[in-house]
Amino acid sequence: MSATTYTAKDITVLEGLDPVRKRPGMYIGGVGTAGLHHLVWEVLDNAVDEAMNGHATEIAVTLHDDGTSVTVTDNGRGIPVDIHPKHKKSALEIILTTLHAGGKFDPGHGNYKTSGGLHGVGASVVNALSKQLVATVKRDGATWEQRFKCGKPLAKIKKTGPARGSGTTVYFHPDPTIFPKTEFDAPTIQDRLEVVSYLHKGVRVTFDDQVNKQKHTFKHDNGIVDYLNKLVAQRAAPGAGVPGGGGKPVHETPFSLEKNSDDPATPRIELALQWTESTDEHVRSYVNGIPTGSGGTHENGLRAGLGKAVRNYIETHKLAPKGVTLTADDVREGVVAVLSVFVSDPQFQGQTKDRLHNPEVQAQVDSAVRPSLEHWLNHNRTTAETIVNRIVLAAKAREASRAAQQQVTRKSATANRLNLPGKLSDCNSAGKDDSELFIVEGDSAGGSAKQGRDRRHQAILPLRGKVLNTEQASLTKVLENKELSDLTTALGCGVGKACDPAKLRYGRVFLLADADSDGHHITTLLLTFFYRHMPELIAAGRVYLAVPPLYRIDIGKQTYWAADDADRDRVLKKHGDGRANPQITRFKGLGEMMPKTLWETTLNPKTRRQLRVEIVDKPQTERVISDLMGKDASARLRFITDRADEAQELDL
Ligand code: 28F
């Protein structure tokens, strides 16, 4: 080895943690809730690696009762504690106090790096961002401990007593000077642990949630097949919000595939797959245990292999129906699948680094899936026949519903003004980027908005009363609903699979509802509609919430507006002391507001507040939406009043 290489390596090893504290976002993607939870994933990944390499069988996570600190334990070999001859420090201390100094294992022994995306930057990053971290190692019959503060050791590693067995324990308490909010979300951790137990079959994963006083154990000897069974059962339950309603499986036993490999150049592939009655396709994919929400080359390989296998089967057995052509979408309609691949050098792409980019993986997954699925179909002829029938049905339904859908899309085309809903007060600049559509609750509010708006750029669409809850509704049901079909027509962008933000007739779409719990409910229903049937509009950043005032506060000659009680109290505290009696008016609804007032407070782009709707955390959004909208109405309203302020933070 040349001297230069040695020096370079040495410098890498000695790199301290200052950069992590200076720019935490570079290492964990941000200091918001997602960044905070990355700390857990980071430590968890190391425990999972130890299990994946066959050294640990148990992983235990504790969320301590204040909700701001976590302990992760595994029963693996324990991080080495021997003193490094050159640095005169323990291996443990080097791992926890230097950047990129391992923690990930020597490559070339059939190990897979979990590093990729934002994961895998190492336990030292967690240490740097924790006001306290305690590492405990059991190894060779002794227990060792070392404590740290903001990444700096408080003392040398100490032997604290004897030990039975071996393993690593890391306790950490994130630094509140780095993270604005240090409360962990128990369900987020729990969901992740459950997924880990599915992706690493046989590993016992426990979660001691001391905030909610609950203990959970996850262990799945059938790995992702168990995961698929759970997903399918969940989606088949009434009110699960599965498009097409009811996602019952159409055949009993799922198809599954497991392809292991000793060659680091060929990925390990696991797949479990089942056709259901649902009209969408649902694939959960993972790369080295990391969720790939935006898919990528492994998912493309699955789709290609799946399509070819089924087509070959249909051709071989001359099962093609007369008069309808089967598309690739028909073949995959209703498929629920879990795909997990382990790649030695994963490349992640996309804004959230959740799409696999490695081009070679596509062909590898394709050529694993195709022969194996075709073989399975040929050996399960009854099941295969059921699946083919289901696919033919999908093709027929598609051709039948296309006519209906085209009608709606045609109606909404910009060309024909006459087809727009009668109650829409359009604006002059419709079709241009500077135009805005306000969806307003009720005719009387619609009247105020119509008078108060800037008609050159602002269109008003009043909706009457409660909107259909679309969480459980199929696209056909949605289009049968007058309010929603008018809305769809006014938007002009198409709905469901046909939704195209480029065709939206307005630059922005605002939801404008009363600042009370009824109003929040309507907003939630509309957001559910957008989320389920026009998610592309949200992704394109075109959906906003308008923020109308709930209070008018007159103090002397000054007028202030407040969106909620907290806002009102802030105004009173800031401007109210010692002066003339404040006059507080609470608006009963938008309808009783003067058009001029509505303009000043809510519509005027120069003075209004607005909130852009974003999906920050997809699994959490899924959970909130299906919890909220899928079950009883009382639970819904409780959320909306309890958490109205949070809803305004775009919790959607
Ligand atoms: C609570 C989180 O971090 N578990 C870990 C090990 C085991 C080894 C290891 C870890 C050695 C040379 C870096 C033990 N014996 N859980 C964990 N368990 N790290 S992290 O080694 C780190 C490498 O460079 C380990 C033999 N080899 C490896």
Domain with 305 in it: what CATH number? 3.30.230.10
d(CA 404, CA 328): 21
- Domain limits at 83? 18-218
**How many other C-beta atoms can be found within 10 angstroms of the C-beta atom of residue 258?**
16
Tokens of 209: 């949630």
Last residue of a domain, one of 163, 196, 218: 218
User: Within this chain, do residues 91 and 184 fall inside the same structural domain, yes or no?
Assistant: yes
**Residue 483, in any domain of the structure:** yes
User: Within this chain, do residues 357 and 455 fall inside the same structural domain, yes or no?
Assistant: no
- Inform me whether the pLDDT recorded for 620 exceeds 80: no
User: Within this chain, do residues 134 and 81 fall inside the same structural domain, yes or no?
Assistant: yes
- Inform me whether the pLDDT recorded for 151 exceeds 70: yes
Mean pLDDT of 290-300: 95
Q: Give CA separation, 462 vs 424, 449, 490, in Å.
A: 7, 9, 11
Rg (CA), the chain: 28
Query: What pLDDT is stored for residue 352 in this prediction?
Result: 78
User: Is the CB of 168 within 6 Å of ligand 1?
Assistant: yes
What are phi and psi for residue 386, nearest 5 degrees?
Answer: -60, -45
Find which of 205-214, 541-550, 588-597 is predicted with most confidence, using mean pLDDT.
205-214
Burial track 23-57 (b if 16+ CB lie within 10 A, e otherwise): ebeebbbebebbbbbbbbbbbbbbbbbbbbeeebe
d(CA 283, CA 270): 13
CA–centroid distance, 171 to ligand 1, in Å, is: 16
Contact assessment for residue 635 and residue 628, using Cβ atoms and an 8 Å cutoff: yes
User: Within this chain, do residues 145 and 109 fall inside the same structural domain, yes or no?
Assistant: yes
Query: What pLDDT is stored for residue 305 in this prediction?
Result: 98
Whether residue 514 lies in the annotated active site: yes
Q: Which residue carries 């099962």 as its tokens?
A: 319
Contact assessment for residue 175 and residue 22, using Cβ atoms and an 8 Å cutoff: no
- Nearest-CA residue for ligand 1 atom 2 is 47
CA–centroid distance, 79 to ligand 1, in Å, is: 4
**How many other C-beta atoms can be found within 10 angstroms of the C-beta atom of residue 402?**
12
d(CA 607, CA 338): 48
User: Within this chain, do residues 100 and 170 fall inside the same structural domain, yes or no?
Assistant: yes
Mean pLDDT of 432-461: 92
From the list 15, 518, 554, 564, the catalytic residue is 518
Distance of CA 435 to the CA centre of its chain: 30
Contact assessment for residue 147 and residue 132, using Cβ atoms and an 8 Å cutoff: yes
User: Within this chain, do residues 272 and 376 fall inside the same structural domain, yes or no?
Assistant: yes
Query: What pLDDT is stored for residue 596 in this prediction?
Result: 93
User: Within this chain, do residues 214 and 230 fall inside the same structural domain, yes or no?
Assistant: no
What are phi and psi for residue 532, nearest 5 degrees?
Answer: -85, -35
CA–centroid distance, 85 to ligand 1, in Å, is: 18
Mean pLDDT of 67-74: 98
Find which of 12-16, 365-369, 425-429, 544-548 is predicted with most confidence, using mean pLDDT.
365-369
**Residue 458, in any domain of the structure:** yes
Whether residue 516 lies in the annotated active site: yes
Please report which confidence band the pLDDT of residue 637 belongs to, taking 50, 70 and 90 as the band edges: very low
CA–centroid distance, 50 to ligand 1, in Å, is: 7
- Residue percentage of the chain with pLDDT more than 90: 56
Q: At 35, is the secondary structure helix, strand, or coil?
A: helix
What are phi and psi for residue 116, nearest 5 degrees?
Answer: 160, 155
- Nearest-CA residue for ligand 1 atom 7 is 79
d(CA 251, CA 273): 11
Handedness of CA 109, 111, 117, 121 (dihedral sign): negative
User: Within this chain, do residues 74 and 111 fall inside the same structural domain, yes or no?
Assistant: yes
Burial track 455-466 (b if 16+ CB lie within 10 A, e otherwise): eebbbbbbbeee
Please report which confidence band the pLDDT of residue 615 belongs to, taking 50, 70 and 90 as the band edges: confident
Whether residue 518 lies in the annotated active site: yes
Query: What pLDDT is stored for residue 490 in this prediction?
Result: 93
* CATH number of the domain within which 174 lies: 3.30.565.10
Last residue of a domain, one of 191, 218, 245: 218
CA–centroid distance, 336 to ligand 1, in Å, is: 36
* CATH number of the domain within which 484 lies: 3.40.50.670
- Inform me whether the pLDDT recorded for 117 exceeds 70: no
d(CA 275, CA 281): 9
User: Is the CB of 496 within 6 Å of ligand 1?
Assistant: no
**Residue 95, in any domain of the structure:** yes
User: Is the CB of 77 within 6 Å of ligand 1?
Assistant: yes
Burial track 584-598 (b if 16+ CB lie within 10 A, e otherwise): beebebbbebeeebb
Between β-strands 130-139 and 167-174, what pairing exists: parallel, antiparallel or unpaired? antiparallel
Please report which confidence band the pLDDT of residue 185 belongs to, taking 50, 70 and 90 as the band edges: very high
In the predicted model, what is the mean pLDDT of the chain?
85
User: Is the CB of 170 within 6 Å of ligand 1?
Assistant: yes
Query: What pLDDT is stored for residue 153 in this prediction?
Result: 97
Q: Shortest CA distance to 549 belongs to which of 596, 605, 604, 601?
A: 601
Whether residue 567 lies in the annotated active site: no
User: Is the CB of 624 within 6 Å of ligand 1?
Assistant: no
**Residue 581, in any domain of the structure:** no
Mean pLDDT of 298-308: 98
Length reported for the chain? 652
Query: What pLDDT is stored for residue 114 in this prediction?
Result: 46
User: Within this chain, do residues 169 and 38 fall inside the same structural domain, yes or no?
Assistant: yes
Please report which confidence band the pLDDT of residue 642 belongs to, taking 50, 70 and 90 as the band edges: very low
Contact assessment for residue 31 and residue 176, using Cβ atoms and an 8 Å cutoff: no
d(CA 359, CA 301): 10
d(CA 285, CA 341): 8
Q: Report the residue among 45, 50, 127 best suited for mutation to probe ligand 1: largest number of ligand atoms under 8 A from its CB.
A: 50
- Nearest-CA residue for ligand 1 atom 16 is 47
| Least-confidence region, from 325-334, 526-535, 563-572, 628-637 | 628-637
Query: What pLDDT is stored for residue 302 in this prediction?
Result: 98
Last residue of a domain, one of 372, 403, 434: 403
CA–centroid distance, 78 to ligand 1, in Å, is: 6
Single-letter amino acid, residue 502: A
- Nearest-CA residue for ligand 1 atom 21 is 79
Helix residue ranges, H only, 434-554: 443-452, 475-480, 482-491, 517-533, 535-539
Query: What pLDDT is stored for residue 197 in this prediction?
Result: 97
Number of domains in the chain: 3
- Inform me whether the pLDDT recorded for 251 exceeds 90: yes
**Residue 558, in any domain of the structure:** no
- Which residues of 379-497 form beta strands (DSSP E)? 436-441, 458-463
User: Within this chain, do residues 392 and 334 fall inside the same structural domain, yes or no?
Assistant: yes
d(CA 276, CA 281): 9
Single-letter amino acid, residue 614: E
d(CA 601, CA 181): 31
Q: Provide the terminal-to-terminal Cα distance of the chain, rounded to the nearest Å.
A: 56
Please report which confidence band the pLDDT of residue 405 belongs to, taking 50, 70 and 90 as the band edges: low
From the list 354, 366, 441, 471, the catalytic residue is 441
- Inform me whether the pLDDT recorded for 492 exceeds 60: yes
H or E element in which residue 510 lies: strand 508-512
H or E element in which residue 360 lies: helix 359-379
Query: What pLDDT is stored for residue 404 in this prediction?
Result: 62
Of residues 639 and 19, more confidence is placed in 19
From the list 516, 536, 554, 564, the catalytic residue is 516
Mean pLDDT of 326-347: 94
- Inform me whether the pLDDT recorded for 317 exceeds 50: yes
Question: Which residues, in sequence order, are bridge partners of residue 459?
Answer: 437
Who's near 39: CB < 8 A, 6+ residues apart? 28, 70, 125, 126, 129, 130, 172, 174
d(CA 234, CA 247): 9
- Nearest-CA residue for ligand 1 atom 10 is 79
**Residue 373, in any domain of the structure:** yes
User: Within this chain, do residues 527 and 629 fall inside the same structural domain, yes or no?
Assistant: yes
d(CA 496, CA 626): 18
What is the DSSP-derived secondary structure letter of residue 602? I
**Residue 295, in any domain of the structure:** yes
Mean pLDDT of 435-449: 90
Q: Shortest CA distance to 579 belongs to which of 600, 548, 593, 558?
A: 558
Mean pLDDT of 249-254: 95
User: Within this chain, do residues 230 and 212 fall inside the same structural domain, yes or no?
Assistant: no
Mean pLDDT of 162-190: 97
Tokens of 648: 């305004």
Number of H helices, E strands in the chain: 22, 24
**Residue 577, in any domain of the structure:** no
